C-alpha cells in the first residue's frame, strides 16, 4: 500500500509531531508498505521530509514557526507527492494539522486519511465548544470561563471568575495541545490571573480559565469505537507540563491505572460518549481528572494524540495485546473500511 505520513507542520507541537512521524514511518515500513513521509511545512520542497524526520528535539519557538508560510501546506497537498497515495496517515498536532484544515484539503484532493474528519477535528480542538457539547451530553467537565480579546485585562471579570471558580485555576489557550501556553494559579491573585491570560493569548485569540481539579489524572484511548485500558499519569513532581510529557523519567505511567473497576469503566464509557458526541473517528484520547469523590471530569478530547511507540494510546493498545506496527495498520483499516 502507498501511504503518505503527514508530520511536522507549523504548530507549536511541530517537534512532537516529527517524533511521531518518525515512529509511524518506521512501523509501516516494517510491515512492508511503501511509505512517503511528508512535512507539509516544506510546501513544494516536500522531498526534504525524509531529512526532517531525523530532527525534532525540544520545544519549537514562535519565532521559528514564523518562518513557515501556511500556503506551503496547500502547495504540499496539491503536489505530485499525493498522486499515487492510497491513504494519508496524519500525525500532525495542533493548528493547521489537527483542526480540520489539512483534513479539508485532503478531502478536496480525494485522499482518504486517518483520524477524525473535518467537523470532528475542528470541534474537538476548540476547548470551549467541546466543553459545551460535553455538558449537553451529560459528561462532567470542570467549570470554566471563556475570555475574549476585549477582556484580556478586565480585572472585574477576573474577580468574578475567582469568586465563581475559586483560587485554584488553570489558564490555557482555547486551541492548543501539549500544555503549551498553560498556567496554573493556586493563589487567586488577580495579577497572576492577568499574566496567565497574557501568556495563553500568545497562542490563541480565545483563552480558557478553568477550575483546577486536584486529583488523579487519567487518560482513555479510543480506537474505532473500542475503548482501551485506562492509564494513570503520575508526574514526578508538580504539573504534567511539556517537560513532564516529553522528558524521559519525569513521569510515571500506570497501565492499567490503579483505580477501582467502577471508575475505570465509567471513565471508558464517558470517553466513548465524548468520542461519539464530538463526531470523532479513527482514534482519539480522552483526558480526565478525578475529583475528591473519584468522579472523572473530562478535560478534553485529542483527535491526533501523541503517537510514538511509547505514547499513551500505543501504550494502552499494547496492554490489550496490540503492538505499535499492528496499531498503525488497524487505524488505516478503520479509515479504509469507512471510506468504502
Which residues are known catalytic residues? 13, 178, 246, 285, 287, 300, 302, 306
* CA 246-251-253 angle, 5° bins: 110
Kindly report the backbone phi and psi dihedral angles of residue 271, in degrees, each rounded to the nearest multiple of 5, phi listed first: -60, -45
The DSSP symbol for 187 reads S
Angle at 258 (CA atoms; ends 254, 264), nearest 5 degrees: 105
DSSP string across 151-183:
GTT-HHHHHHHHHHH-S-EEEEETT--TTTT-E
Q: Provide the strand spans (E) within 230-293.
A: 231-235, 251-254, 283-290
Alpha-carbon dihedral sign for residues 187, 188, 192, 196: positive
| CA dihedral (142, 99, 183, 254) positive or negative | positive
Contact 20, 54 (CB under 8 A): no
Q: How far apart are the first and last CA of the chain?
A: 16
Instruction: Tell me if 274 sits within 8 A of 298, measured CB to CB.
Output: yes
Rounded-to-integer distance, Cα 94 and Cα 99, Å: 7
3-state secondary structure of 255: coil
3-state secondary structure (DSSP) of residue 142:
coil
| CA 299 – CA 297 distance, rounded (Å) | 6
The CA-based dihedral angle spanning residues 340, 133, 234, 16, taken in that order and rounded to the nearest 10 degrees: 50
DSSP state of 48: G
Amino acid at each position: 500500500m502507498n501511504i503518505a505520513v503527514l508530520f511536522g507542520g507549523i504548530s507549536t507541537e511541530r517537534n512532537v509531531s516529527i517524533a511521531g512521524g518518525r515512529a509511524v514511518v518506521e512501523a509501516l515500513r516494517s510491515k512492508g508498505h511503501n511509505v512517503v513521509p511528508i512535512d507539509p511545512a516544506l510546501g513544494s520542497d516536500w522531498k526534504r521530509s525524509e531529512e526532517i524526520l531525523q530532527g525534532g528535539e525540544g520545544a519549537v519557538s514562535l519565532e521559528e514557526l514564523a518562518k513557515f508560510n501556511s500556503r506551503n501546506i496547500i502547495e504540499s497537498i496539491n503536489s505530485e507527492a499525493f498522486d499515487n497515495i492510497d491513504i494519508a496517515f496524519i500525525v500532525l498536532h495542533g493548528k493547521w494539522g489537527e483542526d480540520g484544515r489539512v483534513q479539508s484539503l485532503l478531502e478536496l484532493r480525494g485522499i482518504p486519511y486517518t483520524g477524525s474528519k473535518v467537523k470532528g477535528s475542528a470541534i474537538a480542538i476548540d476547548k470551549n465548544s467541546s466543553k459545551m457539547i460535553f455538558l449537553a451530553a451529560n459528561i462532567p467537565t470542570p467549570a470554566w470561563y471563556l475570555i475574549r480579546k476585549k477582556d484580556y485585562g478586565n480585572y472585574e471579570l477576573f474577580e468574578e471568575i475567582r469568586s465563581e471558580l475559586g483560587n485554584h485555576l488553570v489558564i490555557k489557550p482555547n486551541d492548543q495541545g501539549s500544555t503549551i501556553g498553560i498556567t496554573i494559579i493556586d493563589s487567586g491573585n488577580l495579577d497572576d490571573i492577568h499574566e496567565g491570560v497574557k501568556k495563553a493569548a500568545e497562542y490563541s485569540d480565545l483563552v480558557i480559565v478553568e477550575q483546577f481539579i486536584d486529583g488523579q489524572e487519567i487518560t482513555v484511548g479510543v480506537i474505532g469505537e473500542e475503548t482501551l485500558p485506562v492509564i494513570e499519569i503520575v508526574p514526578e513532581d508538580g504539573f504534567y507540563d511539556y517537560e513532564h510529557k516529553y522528558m524521559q523519567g519525569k513521569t510515571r505511567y500506570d497501565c492499567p491505572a490503579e483505580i477501582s473497576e467502577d471508575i475505570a469503566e465509567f471513565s471508558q464509557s464517558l470517553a466513548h460518549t465524548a468520542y461519539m458526541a464530538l463526531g470523532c473517528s479513527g482514534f482519539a484520547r480522552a483526558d480526565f481528572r478525578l475529583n475528591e469523590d473519584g468522579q472523572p471530569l473530562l478535560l478534553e478530547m485529542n483527535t491526533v494524540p501523541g503517537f510514538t511507540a511509547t505514547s499513551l494510546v500505543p501504550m494502552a493498545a499494547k496492554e490489550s495485546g496490540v503492538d505499535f506496527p499492528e496499531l498503525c495498520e488497524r487505524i488505516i483499516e478503520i479509515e479504509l473500511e469507512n471510506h468504502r
